[in-house]
Structure 1
Amino acid sequence: MAEHHLPGDPPVALTLRRSARARRISLRISSLDGRVTLTLPKSLPERAALAFAEEKADWIRGHLQKHPEAVQAEFGALLPIDGQDRVVERAKGRRIQLEAGRIAVPGDRPARPLQRYLKELARNRLAEASDFYAARLGKGYSRLTLRDTRSRWGSCTADGALMYSWRLILAPPAVLRYVAAHEVAHLAEMNHSQAFWDTVERIHGRWQAPRAWLRENGASLHRYRFGE
């Protein structure tokens, strides 16, 4: 894939992707992070795809206005860790320090260390929540993994493997716990039947509010960039 920019103020990043199956240029804007991707046939010159994007410039910019701007994980940025905004600051010591209203990171480039720290924090919180709800359910899970998924916040396989998006650490704790309860409930009900939702309510309690929060705000958790 190649990276280009649509001219303007500000310029818009464009990702060009070639596909052997493509017969014409297609344009896609991610509903999660606003990433603009142009897919084009292998034989089509890149300049043709860029000209196509310029023709659609007004539509692209209008669509992007509906998405929050990307936030780079750098000093001075605000990150919603545990759903609370924290300013990324430079640490005086050698360890990351998470405090009320701030997170201090050592070194000159905070993005990668910060991402590692958040993934570990997410693993700890999700493991604790999964253990809690699994004990209430009376069923165990086989393993727990973290990914940076864009289509789902969690999953549960038939052999009891739980997967979560590590970005749940950026959501309020009640939302993270709801997702853990949701996936653990699948250990008993591998569907979304009424029996499944009854199980979620039995081990977690009322789930409607955190589920609504994810629907309304979940996409914004993908706006935070850690050097990808």
Structure 2
Amino acid sequence: MAETLDIGDPPIRVLIKKSARARRFSLRISNVDGAVSLTMPKRAALRDAVAFAQDHDGWMRKHLGKRPDQIVPTFGGSILLDGVDVPITLGTGRKVQFEAGVLYVPGTGAQVPAKLRAFYKTLARDRLAEASERYAGLVGRRFSRITLRDTRSRWGSCTSDGNLMYSWRLIMAPRAVQDYVAAHEVCHLVEMNHSDAYWRQVAAVFPDYKAQRSWLKRNGQQLHRYQF
């Protein structure tokens, strides 16, 4: 189990990471989920790590205070879909429906997050599978399979054996962003790197990639605000 520290009052949970390459203490706050981690030299004393974290208590609270609040989807609230904030309303039947710009969710309020998660994952799989097929055709390659995950550090990946992985939270981003990530990963079927040749391949199939890449950098953490 990972070692953690509770610093200050109210406590801030700090994850300890020991590194043989680290030469000094360093703190990092994740832009995605606000997790705080402290990297320390492998042979350093834990008491020194505690002192370092305590000395930076104010810095941690300042930066954590700037993070957007977390959102639990519920009736009367709203959620992003295709880059648009859409209202959540009580629906009928057994399935979530998206009609006329409104998400209709059947069941109780407590069931809303899980039902929306399932709906979003299904929709994301359909969208990203279609986009992957389209861009794979453009680059003249085939992929093996697609998996969806709720990843924190990346929006997609491509393995050397042609497996594609995407974050299902991309369904909350604009359609052009979803297409860009699909194009980005499919192009790794041609170039398994981020060389100039790779980016030329991306530009060939998705000329507007820079704008969509910038959107993710600016707004990506907003997609992780929603707690399912």
**Residues 124/56 of structure 1: CA separation in 2 closer, same or farther (3 Å cut):** same
Amino acid at match of 1:116: A
What is the aligned partner in structure 2 of residue 170 from structure 1? 172
What is the aligned partner in structure 2 of residue 88 from structure 1? 88
Structure-2-length-normalised TM-score:
0.80
**Residues 69/202 of structure 1: CA separation in 2 closer, same or farther (3 Å cut):** same
2:122 to 120, 123, 135: 120
SS in 2 for 1:71: coil
Aligned-pair Cα RMSD in Å = 3.2
C-alpha contact (below 8 Å) 1:80/1:86 kept by paired residues: yes
What is the aligned partner in structure 1 of residue 185 from structure 2? 183
Report the alpha carbon displacement of residue 29 of structure 1 after superposing the two structures with TM. 2.9
Structure-1-length-normalised TM-score:
0.80
What is the aligned partner in structure 2 of residue 151 from structure 1? 153
What is the aligned partner in structure 1 of residue 43 from structure 2? none
C-alpha contact (below 8 Å) 1:85/1:101 kept by paired residues: no
SS in 2 for 1:64: helix
Unaligned runs of at least 5 residues, structure 2: 20-24, 40-45
SS in 1 for 2:186: helix
Query: 5 Å matches for 1:185-200?
Result: 185-200=187-202
C-alpha contact (below 8 Å) 1:33/1:67 kept by paired residues: no
Q: Structure 2 CA distance, aligned partners of 1:19 and 1:209?
A: 35
SS in 2 for 1:205: coil
Unaligned runs of at least 5 residues, structure 1: none
SS in 2 for 1:225: coil
**Residues 101/61 of structure 1: CA separation in 2 closer, same or farther (3 Å cut):** farther
Amino acid at match of 1:93: G
What is the aligned partner in structure 2 of residue 70 from structure 1? 70
Report the alpha carbon displacement of residue 65 of structure 1 after superposing the two structures with TM. 3.0
Identical-pair percentage: 50
**Residues 154/94 of structure 1: CA separation in 2 closer, same or farther (3 Å cut):** same
Q: Structure 2 CA distance, aligned partners of 1:139 and 1:129?
A: 13
Amino acid at match of 2:95: R
What is the aligned partner in structure 1 of residue 42 from structure 2? none
Amino acid at match of 1:141: F
C-alpha contact (below 8 Å) 1:170/1:221 kept by paired residues: yes
Q: Structure 1 CA distance, aligned partners of 2:83 and 2:7?
A: 32
Query: 5 Å matches for 1:27-66?
Result: 28-36=28-36, 58-66=58-66
Q: Structure 1 CA distance, aligned partners of 2:76 and 2:146?
A: 33
